[in-house]
Amino acid sequence: MSIPLAAVGAVVAALLETSVLPELTIAGAKPDLLFILAVAATMMIGVENGLTWAFVGGLMLDLLTPGRPLGATSLTLLLMVGATVAAMRFLPQRRVSIAVASVFVLAWAYEVVDIAILGFTAGTAATPSPAAIAPVVVLSTLLAVPVAAAMRLAWLRMGAHDRMEW
């Protein structure tokens, strides 16, 4: 997957996250689509694609959400992609199960860091509670399964192949 394609995908994902996903809540929770896509792209395709999904998607999400400071979501997503890159040094790459487990673990951190950054920049005083975060984490983990599988298939189809350079 090329970097421009990832940037366009991040814009579309931000549009979906702000327009369609708020209407499709389950148990009062909606998944964090850009977070899932950024982590899955980092684990399945590569670091550059994950950073593109995180930065461009985060900026678009901040622009489309009223009252959200510009760059807050990008910072949170870039921190999570950085944590994914650090974990990738010790984990097998391009495995759907590893990507889903990473989404599950990092979703807890993403929610806490997002609340903290929004509290610091926007002045909203909210304390993260595990009972409020758990449905979002479970929903994001369930959505990560088809997303990671699709990213792996895309990498297998269009990724780097061993061939002779002429």
Which of 2-11, 49-58, 95-104, 116-125 comes out lowest in average pLDDT? 116-125
Within-domain flag for 166? no
165 in any annotated domain = no
Q: How many domains does the chain have?
A: 1
> DSSP letter string over 140-165?
HHHHHHHHHHHHHHHHHHHS------
Q: Is position 68 within any domain?
A: yes
Choose among 152, 148, 155: nearest CA to 2.
155
- Residue span of the structural domain in which 64 resides: 3-158
Give domain status of residue 132, yes or no.
yes
* Mean pLDDT, all residues of the chain: 89
The answer to the question of residue 164 being in a domain is: no
Entry pTM: 0.90
- How many CB atoms lie under 10 A from the CB of residue 11? 17
The answer to whether 15 and 64 have CB atoms below 8 angstroms apart is yes
Give me the CATH number covering residue 127. Answer: 1.10.1760
CA distances from 137 to 32, 75, 91, 155 (A): 9, 19, 21, 26
**Res 1: pLDDT:** 62
Summarised one tens digit per residue, pLDDT across range 3-44 is: 898 999 999 999 999 999 888 888 878 889 999 999 999 999
Q: Is residue 25 part of a domain?
A: yes
Residue 163 domain-assigned? no
Angle between helices 33-44 and 3-19 (to 10 degrees): 160
Average pLDDT over residues 50-58: 95
Query: What pLDDT digit, counting tens, does each position of 115-160 carry?
Result: 888 888 877 767 778 888 999 999 999 999 999 999 999 888 887 6
- Give per-residue pLDDT as tens, 65-87: 988 889 999 999 999 999 999 99
Asked if residue 99 belongs to a domain, the reply is: yes
